Structure 1
Amino acid sequence: MRKYLSLALVASLAFACSPEEKTEVIDYTQLSDEERLEVATEIAQNTIMVDGHVDLPYRMKVGGFTLQREVLDVSVRTPDGNFDFPRSKEGGLDAPFMSIYIPAGLQQTPGSSKALADSLILMTERLAETFPDKFAMAYSPADIEKNFAEGKVSLPMGMENGSALEDDISNVEYFHGRGIRYITLTHGKANLIGDSSYDTVRLYNGLSEYGEQVVAEMNRVGIMVDVSHVSDETFKDALEVTKVPAIASHSSVRAFTPGFERNMNDELIQALAKNGGVMMINFGGTFIDSAYAAGANKVREHLVNYLAENNLSRRDSAAQAYIAEYTAANNPFPTVQRVADHIDYVKNLVGIDYVGLGSDFDGVGDSLPTGLKDVSMYPNLIAELLKRGYTKEEIEKICYKNIFRVWKAVEDYAASQS
């Protein structure tokens, strides 16, 4: 224990000194993996960490009800999922953006998308109200800083799928009033705003006219424009319209996943950097490694055939045991190093000021890489970055300073319009 404290103290002193006072800087690349993880854990605990996308609200709504308890209690350690309070504190996660996720299928029923958004927002608020010593709502960087000082996990909110705006532009201001601080313009299908990367149908070849109005209104009221999930043309159109920096709340680098439009190619990464925005790296296996995607498809095909041949359903205990064993043995899970590769790629292409973390925890199932299976494991990623020569200042930018810069610019522009 004392070895850990002394190492952490040396690290903090090395970074706290001014250039004139600094006599020695630790070369973290020369430490052992164990020593580096100790330093990484200390950094995670003492640095604000923002994650651009955690799907807890929808997990609570869909998977939270059991016969044993009325609702999923994430104030204590949970046996499943990727997020709860104890693991969040262990990993140093201070501000996971709660994803107010709206399935694209609801677009067919007017009013249902907005109703679900309201329901998930209310559920998030009740989490903070029920456990005020552990969670707190956050509507600005200043709120997160205050909650961090009090040891609470902040719950800022982003709405995943602008379909909840329906066809009423006044809903942009309405949802800002409800606490939404970014809106992902589309999700799995084109909506009234624009085209989606996952949809083969291109209704507008980019943003619709209504979508242009939505982006302008988001600027006016102070909601960040999120270009994750949109088609390449919608992405470009959104950057043309917005007057402030945008974000990609949970997207990764397409160079590692050729042909996967959901990720960002070099042109889009460079455009977002020129806009002053930030790209928040998704941890999901299919997002970070094409080999995993191909392997997962083979595993999925095998399991479907196995279940059919043995007349089993996925709920059968024998099936679950086989699925777990076969998946563990045959899925080519990427590792934490691959997530660091994506961060490296963005840093090398456009600079450290334009990259952040957007895990998609509780939203990408069991595809998460080895070493980043839940929110307790962020120090593993920080340790890998230290091993690659990243400085504490660079890690702070990745963890929160880059997204705070964008968020404050959006706030300042909105304040100038009032």
Structure 2
Amino acid sequence: MKLFSIGKLKRKMLGPEEASPLLAKPEKFEHSEDNSRGLSSRWLTWGGVLRFVIYWLVVVFVIQHFTGWASKVVDAVVGLPKDPRKAAKRILAKAPVIDGHIDLPILVRGLYANNASAFDLNGELPQHVDIPRLKQGQVGGFFWSAYAACPDWIGHDDGPDFLNSTWRVRDTLEQIDISKILIEKYSDTFQLALTTHDIYHAIRHGKIASMIGIEGAHQLGNSIAVLRQIFTLGARYVTLTHTCHNAFADSCGTLPSKWGGLSPLGYSLINEMNRIGMLVDLSHTSDDTARQALKHSKAPVIWSHSSARAVHTHERNVPDDILSMVGIGENKTDAVVMVNFAPDFVADPGEATVQAVADHIEHIAKVAGKKHVGLGSDFDGIPSTPTGLEDVSKYPELIAELLVRNWTRSDIEGLTNKNLLRVMKGAENVAHKLQKQGVEPAYEYYDKRTDLGRRQEL
């Protein structure tokens, strides 16, 4: 087919006298009014080409950088696959799981003495986590738990006032060290993430965002100064207690209460965590500690690996009266409760299944709201797993179960990462505000220490 120019077509229809002079080709170039019109026409033509090129560059940019949004539009029009497993994988491709608590570092300590050359994460590790299974489970990030057991777990006695040396700070630093070594060694898979921006960047570039959490304030050596240094080394949450009381707070363990919740130093610790942007983690804490921390914290908080007590009775799980304190609005504190997969916390012996874990998720969503629930598996830190959630490759099975229960794509995206990211961003914003206001570091220290002089009055 022959293509005609607009000018030729118009001249053919109107005749040479009636055709627009802007479409007529000048015989030669002269500095005349008519030639100026011809020159303007050329510039208009090139301007059209330029606009066309810019338009398509913008289209390509949008396609490259907002494919997730485009996918959602397609899903809204066409719908997700009817098969819940296929639908789960589709959702996770754009909203991968960020797990609040994985104990890979303590596994490496226990089995390989923190020797990163003694095993290959690209191979199959003996418990629940390795790189092939992380990719199969569509994991976008997780908190590496830098864990050092309570002193009595390893035969140490830190004394009634927690003053006896127990090497907990040393062991914590070693856990941070091996986590960062592994993140760097397998940098084609992992990327250290210190901010929400880092997490988005890692996921966008196909990496697994790697954050570090400290599982117990007994690992701080009774010192708020140690908190600051651990933050500098990359930690982004501290669990206020493990299964032992410490100088800052009471644990949910079976021991009689020592502080009635938070100690005076515990309130100062939370103030400093808010100031620097360290997330307050309430897993393992006593109910009184959790209630007081929720009321006192200026920033959103997390439960990195806890489930719902109303579904299964366990002191580690969160009761409904505390869940009801969680929310956005007056007399509420923004938070995310990241559900633990440990069978003992999920169901009676032999009854822990992927469906039972989904029950915990649904209950927390019912009481606190779907914007306040996440996933904190405790993989590599638990001796057994629920049926259907045997390792990190099985997250899609849990998402499929929730889809069967009529959870929407938006609900799932909140569960897998957006709820946590909102809370993290909230803590970052509070820290920025407090630092901009010039709030000074917390200088309080544990008053039972004998190695420091008394505070000098000016």
Identity of aligned residues (%): 34
Q: Is the 8 Å Cα contact of residues 206 and 231 (structure 1) preserved in structure 2?
A: yes
Kept in 1: contact 2:249–2:289 (CA 8 A): yes
Matched residue, 1:310: none
Aligned-pair CA distance for 1:333: 4.1
* Structure-1 separation of matches of 2:193 and 2:263: 31
Asked if structure 1 preserves the Cα contact closer than 8 Å seen for 2:311 and 2:359, the reply is no
Match of 2:294 in 1: 239
Match of 1:229 among 279, 284, 287: 284
Give secondary structure in 1 for the equivalent of 2:165: coil
SS at match of 1:365: coil
CA RMSD of aligned residues (A): 2.1
**Structure 1 residues 14 and 149, CA, compared in 2 at 3 Å: closer, same or farther?**
closer
- Deviations 1:132-168 (Å, cap 9, x if unpaired)? 1111211112111111122222210110001122122
Quickly say closer, same or farther: Cα 1:110–1:239, change in 2 above 3 A: same
1:60–1:71 CA contact under 8 A, matched in 2: no
Partner of 1:16: 73
Match of 2:416, SS state, is helix
User: SS of the counterpart of 2:246?
Assistant: coil
Matched residue type, 1:131:
Y
**Match for residue 107 of structure 2?**
59
Compared CA separation, residues 142 and 76, structure 1 to 2 (3 A)? farther
Structure 2 Cα separation of the partners of residues 111 and 179 of structure 1: 23
Letter in 1 for 2:143: F
1:247-271 CA-to-partner distances (Å, cap 9, x unmatched) read 100000001223x221111001111
For residues 324-363 of structure 1, what are the alpha-carbon distances to aligned partners after superposition, in whole Å with 9 as ceiling and x for unaligned?
xxxxxxxx14210111111111111221111000000011
> 1:365: which partner in 2?
383
SS in 1 for 2:400: helix
Task: In structure 2, give the amino acid aligned to 1:16.
Answer: V
Instruction: Quote how far apart the aligned CAs of 1:45 are.
Output: 2.7
> Which residue is 1:335 aligned to?
353
* 1:182 alignment counterpart: 237
Alpha-carbon deviation of 1:111?
Answer: 6.1
Unaligned segments of structure 1, at least 5 residues: 1-10, 293-331
> What SS is found at the alignment partner of 1:202?
coil
Bigger mean CA offset, 153-162 vs 40-49: 40-49
Higher helix share: 1
Tell me the distance in 2 between the aligned counterparts of 1:351 and 1:236.
Answer: 18
TM-score between both structures, scaled by the size of structure 2: 0.74
**Following the alignment from structure 2 to structure 1, what is the Cα–Cα distance between the partners of residues 389 and 184?**
29
Deviation string 1:33-91 (CA, Å, 9 cap, x unpaired) is: xx211121222233132100000101101112599x9523223332x111111100000
1:276 CA drift (Å) = 0.9
Partner Cα separation in structure 1 for residue 233 and residue 432 of structure 2? 18
Change (3 A) 1:12 1:334: farther
Q: Higher mean Cα deviation, 351-360 or 141-150?
A: 141-150
Q: Which residue of the other structure, out of 432, 441, 444, is the alignment partner of 1:415?
A: 432
The residue that corresponds to 1:275 in the other structure is: 333
Give, in whole Å, the separation in 1 of the partners of 2:114 and 2:319: 42
Counterpart contact for 1:147–1:154, Cα < 8 Å = yes
Q: Where does residue 192 of structure 1 map in the other structure?
A: 247
CA distance in 1, matches of 2:427, 2:278: 7
Contact 1:139–1:156 at 8 Å: present in 2 too? yes
Q: Which secondary structure state, in structure 1, belongs to the residue aligned with residue 261 of structure 2? A: coil
Q: Distance in 2 between matches of 1:102 and 1:245?
A: 25
Counterpart contact for 1:161–1:184, Cα < 8 Å: yes
Q: 1:77 aligns with which of 117, 124, 141?
A: 124
1:120 alignment partner, SS class: helix
Report the Cα distance in structure 2 between the residues aligned to 1:81 and 1:265, rounded to whole angstroms: 30
Which one has the largest radius of gyration?
A: 2
Letter in 2 for 1:41: K
Deviation at 1:238, TM superposition (A): 1.0
Partner of 2:308: 253
Say whether 1:203 aligns with 2:261: no
Q: Runs ≥4 in structure 1, deviation > 4 angstroms?
A: 11-14, 22-26
After superposition, residues 285-364 of structure 1 pair within 5 angstroms as 285-289=343-347, 291-292=348-349, 332-364=350-382
Partner AA of 1:126 in structure 2 = I
Q: Counterpart in 2 of 1:391? A: 408
Aligned to 2:208: 153
Aligned residues between the structures = 355
Q: Distance in 1 between matches of 2:431 and 2:304?
A: 20
Q: Residues of 1 paired with 2:79 and 2:107: CA distance?
A: 44
SS at match of 1:144: helix
The secondary structure found in structure 2 opposite 1:116 is helix
AA matched with 1:97: F
Q: Normalization by structure 1: what TM-score?
A: 0.81
